[in-house]
Amino acid sequence: MSATNERLLDAAENGIRLSGYHAVSFRDLADELGIKSSSVHYYYRQKEDLGVALVDRYSKRFFADVEKRAETAGTDEERLRAFCQTYRNALTGSDRICLCGMLGAETCGLPKALADRVEAFFNANIAWISDALNADMPADKRAARAAQILATLQGAMMVATSLKKHRLFDDIVGALFEKPKS
């Protein structure tokens, strides 16, 4: 992949994570890179293609990061914390919500191929978390708990950036791990 292509994906990812799919235009991306918008079409024939490539790269990087962090984790809870840390890093490293969080909200207004990738990302998230949950939890409860963790992470990013209080993300996710007083 060429350097320009990579810069293109970077710019598009930033823009979408900040303001949404429909708020990002080929012209803006081209201007940011110092090229012409027709050159953007050279890399991605349609905007939809750019979106799909974006989610693919994002998803690949995301799970690579999760796996890397989970490698050194001993317990189930440590694996879960590693997962949440990937989200946290995505937020605090860029002040932007998850790419798929944004696209997930916009689902109904997206090209089908793009919406399908986002759906796949979420399903993979839930599958990963389910695996990390304590095995003595019944299977159906594991799925619900996994979905809850995913929803909390996504919602926490959205609320925290919207309120411009990034610490809120930590507070929210921290409460997720709190042991109930016995």
159 touches 168 (CB < 8 A): yes
CB nearer to a copy of itself: pick between 54 and 115: 115
85 touches 73 (CB < 8 A): no
Report in angstroms how near the CB of residue 67 gets to a copy of itself at its nearest. 22
Report in angstroms how near the CB of residue 51 gets to DNA at its nearest. 10
Interactions with DNA, residue window 47-76 (CB under 7 A)? 47-48
51: CB partners within 8 A, 6+ apart: 12, 16, 21, 103, 110, 111, 114
Separation of alpha carbons 34 and 154, rounded Å: 33
Question: Of 42-50, 87-95, 97-105, 162-170, which segment contacts DNA by CB under 7 A?
Answer: 42-50
Spatial CA neighbour of 54 closest among 29, 76, 36: 29
Q: Binding of DNA at residue 28 (CB under 7 A)?
A: yes
Report in angstroms how near the CB of residue 42 gets to DNA at its nearest. 3
First CA to last CA distance, the chain: 55
Separation of alpha carbons 131 and 139, rounded Å: 10
Instruction: Pick what 171 binds: a copy of itself, DNA, none; C-beta below 5 to 8 Å, kind-dependent.
Output: a copy of itself
Coil vs helix vs strand at 13: helix
CB nearer to a copy of itself: pick between 49 and 106: 106
Instruction: Pick what 161 binds: DNA, a copy of itself, none; C-beta below 5 to 8 Å, kind-dependent.
Output: a copy of itself
Report in angstroms how near the CB of residue 146 gets to a copy of itself at its nearest. 10
Q: Binding of DNA at residue 25 (CB under 7 A)?
A: yes
Binding residues (CB under 7 A) for DNA: these are 2, 4, 24-28, 30, 34-43, 45-48
